Amino acid sequence: MGIHTRRIPGGIRTRRPSRHGKPAAWIFLIALTAAIGMLPHLLRFSPPAGALTIKEARFGLEGSAHEETVSLPHTWTPETLYDLTTGDYRLSFRAPGASDEPMFLFIPAARHLIEAWVNGQRTIPAPDTPWSTPTSGYSFLARIPDGAVGEGDNEILLRQTRRIGWLPGRLSQVSVGTAEAVMPTYKLSNFLIEELRAMTFALHIVLTVGIASIWTARRHDPVFRWLALISITSILVVITQSPHAGLGALGQFQATSAMSAVGLMALGMALAIAGLPRPRLLLPAVVLVPATLLILGQAGLLRFQVIGLLSASITLAAYLAATVILAHQFARKRNWDAAIMAGPCALTVWFGLHDILVVTGRYDDPFLFASYARTLMLVAIMIILMSRLARSLNSLDTANDTLRQRLAAREAELGLLHEKEKIHANQMVREHERQRLMQDLHDGMSGHLVAIIALAERNKEGGQAIERAARAALDDLRLVVHSLDLGDGDLGVALAAFRERLEPQLRRLGIEFHWSTEKLPAVTGVTPQNALSVLRILQEAVTNAIKHGPARRIAIEGRTTEDRMAALQVSNDGVPQPRIGSGNGLGNIRRRARDLGGRIAFTPTDDGASLLLVFPARLPE
């Protein structure tokens, strides 16, 4: 569709689609349609080179004493319809001598059934195929019996019998020659006439099955409905027209009547492709028009020629209307489906007019072309199906890309919200940790400060006791401050720092110290408060061992329990108390263990005491 520009106030140029397609597209479509329409007239079979060609014959109807000399090709029209009418051609040729090679009789283009005799000996025709349709034109080949052709004058009798149909009889020039001379031309004509029909019929069946299957899944789409009806009806017409169907005159009546239905279906298909509403009477007409023609013909109210002319006229008028609708749709909206179908519809009209002129004797041509228009229609349908499939896949890809982009944008948005929520949650956790650490500082530091004040008031010279209390307060403060910098998997770092501070203190007190945490499992979910709770428990256990022991040896060991939990054990060789009280120290230890999701166990031994802390490898946040 072309683009036009126009100005609006303010000097801004806007573009709008034109109402006409690009000239190049129109020129291409018209040229392609015209080329295909002229192609059958350009493909003419010349007499095979190297063979003897006969261009003249004596012709007469069977049972008539009158014969006339005619030039080949020759066309003759029967006087009656559907009666067995036979025309005899007598041809003569002069052979230079008898041939040792097999000889063949070849007719490039003939119509109706042909039998041949050479010098009174019947020839052996090439076997017929299911796709041989003598009424529409075919190539005739027969082998001449050995010895039938002699030196000098020879005579050929060709008997052409019109068994069914209304087509005039026709005979092209006749050739006599060897297999080397006539076979190349016969194979080419046999391919274009018979094998092409077989391939078209096979394609027709495949497309019909495919279109019918699509229609069952997309019944809301009128285009596929009309395509399915056209394909199915066309197959029935082809089968009915075949001489192997054995339907005789009834088959011709049915085929002729059904052609009008195919034309009306093509009109409905054009309206569906163009997106135009279907007339209410169109669908009933698809059934009523051919049925009415069939009844009128079978009842003898109208001659068969009139029935055929009416059916052909309705068909061509419908295809012509479809062509106009599709071309107009392409001109307005650049609908390429309409352009693809407009060509075969126009060619159907062109080939149909050609066949009407041939049937009525107004134009001499050996073949009827309407069946080839059906081939073009099938090809156009296949192209439309493939293009619709490609457009559907492209639309699906576009939709997937759009969804992926929207999903990525939403994921980015959610990620941003998650980061904000995470920051907020961290802030809340930090605030909560600050509150708890302030409580720890209050519980720990206040006690040490009270002790220092009491020592200073009671004993003015008790410098050593005051120093020890101040050091204890400093160690406690360092323990709390250090725990603030710990991350998710930093429990080992916290334990190492605890060891570095504890070991010099125990050495000054003359206490032997043993440390072993290599077997401790990797602990995750570590927060400052969790780490501080573990260190507080260890600190409380060591302090109790020093106070109540008094211990001379302290050991801290880590390991993994049978249920895959982490365990820290503090052992000392001090004299155990006969009974563990329920003071604040032990209560705080138990509370901290519960906060860790673990437990503690205090066990007196023969040579001291042991405190076991068990907690999960994944600490609760």
Region 502-520: mean pLDDT is 88
Per-residue pLDDT band at 92 (split at 50, 70, 90)? very high
**Contact predicate 196/131, CB 8 Å:** no
Look at residue 307 in the predicted model and tell me its pLDDT: 80
CA gyration radius for the chain? 53
Per-residue pLDDT band at 433 (split at 50, 70, 90)? low
pLDDT at 13 over 60: no
Look at residue 453 in the predicted model and tell me its pLDDT: 61
pLDDT at 463 over 80: no
- Indicate whether 178 and 225 sit together in one domain: no
Range in 69-83, 217-231, 302-316 with the lowest mean pLDDT: 69-83
- Indicate whether 239 and 150 sit together in one domain: no
Region 599-605: mean pLDDT is 86
Range in 73-82, 257-266, 313-322 with the lowest mean pLDDT: 73-82
Look at residue 132 in the predicted model and tell me its pLDDT: 60
Residue 607 counted as domain residue: yes
Residue 93 vs residue 473, higher pLDDT: 93
Range in 193-207, 435-449, 479-493, 595-609 with the lowest mean pLDDT: 435-449
Question: Residue type at 79?
Answer: E
SS (H, E, C) 374-432: HHHHHHHHHHHHHHHHHHHHHHHHHHHHHHHHHHHHHHHHHHHHHHHHHHHHHHHHHHH
Closest CA to 531 of 493, 586, 476: 493
The H or E element that residue 599 is part of is strand 599-605
Region 50-62: mean pLDDT is 89
Residue 540 counted as domain residue: yes
Among the ranges 81-95, 197-211, 226-240, which has the highest mean pLDDT value? 81-95
Residue 428 counted as domain residue: no
**Contact predicate 132/117, CB 8 Å:** no
**Contact predicate 130/111, CB 8 Å:** no
Q: What is the CATH number of the domain that holds 161?
A: 2.60.120.260
Rounded CA-CA distance 384/337 in Å is 6
Residue 165 counted as domain residue: yes
Residue 197 counted as domain residue: no
- By CB atoms closer than 10 A (0-12, 13-18, 19+), residue 115 is middle
Among the ranges 110-114, 221-225, 334-338, 341-345, which has the highest mean pLDDT value? 341-345
- Indicate whether 144 and 254 sit together in one domain: no
Region 420-432: mean pLDDT is 76
Question: Residue type at 443?
Answer: D
Among residues 368, 398, 420, the one where a domain terminates is: 368
- Indicate whether 247 and 354 sit together in one domain: yes
pLDDT at 273 over 80: yes
pLDDT at 7 over 70: no
pTM of the predicted protein model:
0.57
Per-residue pLDDT band at 255 (split at 50, 70, 90)? low
Residue 599 counted as domain residue: yes
Among residues 190, 210, 228, the one where a domain terminates is: 190
Look at residue 384 in the predicted model and tell me its pLDDT: 82
Range in 519-523, 561-565, 603-607, 610-614 with the lowest mean pLDDT: 603-607
Q: Is 49 in a helix, a strand, or coil?
A: coil
Residue 542 counted as domain residue: yes
- Indicate whether 57 and 185 sit together in one domain: yes
Region 563-579: mean pLDDT is 79
Strands of 566-572's sheet, edge to edge? 512-516, 553-560, 566-572, 608-615, 599-605
Residue 582 vs residue 388, higher pLDDT: 388
- Indicate whether 186 and 241 sit together in one domain: no
Closest CA to 451 of 437, 438, 440, 462: 462
DSSP string, 460-507: TT-HHHHHHHHHHHHHHHHHHHHHTT--TT-HHHHHHHHHHHHHHHHH
Q: What's the token pair of residue 532?
A: 């501080």
Region 532-538: mean pLDDT is 87
Residue 169 counted as domain residue: yes
Taking only the tens place, the pLDDT of each residue in 580-591 is 444 456 778 888
Range in 6-15, 122-131, 375-384, 502-511 with the lowest mean pLDDT: 6-15
Region 134-154: mean pLDDT is 84
Range in 344-358, 366-380, 383-397 with the lowest mean pLDDT: 366-380
Q: What's the token pair of residue 292?
A: 């009415």
Measured CA to CA in angstroms, residue 501 lies from 472, 498, 539 at distances of 11, 5, 11
Among residues 314, 338, 368, the one where a domain terminates is: 368
Residue 211 vs residue 314, higher pLDDT: 314
pLDDT at 405 over 90: yes
In 10 A of CB 317, how many CB atoms? 15
Rounded CA-CA distance 551/569 in Å is 15
Residue 68 vs residue 369, higher pLDDT: 68
Q: What is the CATH number of the domain that holds 589?
A: 3.30.565.10
Rounded CA-CA distance 437/484 in Å is 9
Average pLDDT, the chain: 79
> Per the structure, how many domains does the chain have?
3
Look at residue 254 in the predicted model and tell me its pLDDT: 60
Region 111-139: mean pLDDT is 80
Q: CB-hemisphere CA count at 13 Å for 163? A: 13
Rounded CA-CA distance 460/450 in Å is 15
Region 248-276: mean pLDDT is 77
Q: What b-and-e string marks burial along 347-367, b requiring 16 or more CB atoms within 10 Å of the CB?
A: bbbbbbbbbbebbeeeeebbb
8-state DSSP, 96:
S
- Indicate whether 175 and 61 sit together in one domain: yes
Over pLDDT 70: what percentage of the chain? 77
Residue with tokens 């609908």: 335
SS (H, E, C) 252-287: HHHHHHHHHHHHHHHHHHHHHHHCCCCCCCHHHHHH
Region 351-356: mean pLDDT is 86
- Indicate whether 113 and 222 sit together in one domain: no
- Indicate whether 287 and 352 sit together in one domain: yes
Rounded CA-CA distance 498/448 in Å is 19
**Contact predicate 283/269, CB 8 Å:** no
Q: 386-391: which pairs have CB atoms within 8 A and are 24 or more residues apart?
A: 387/336, 387/337, 387/340, 388/337
Rounded CA-CA distance 157/93 in Å is 12
Q: CB-hemisphere CA count at 13 Å for 86? A: 13
> What is the extent of the structural domain holding 72?
52-190
- By CB atoms closer than 10 A (0-12, 13-18, 19+), residue 97 is exposed
Rounded CA-CA distance 561/404 in Å is 48
- Indicate whether 177 and 228 sit together in one domain: no
pLDDT at 317 over 90: yes
Q: What's the token pair of residue 206?
A: 């495949």
Region 556-573: mean pLDDT is 91
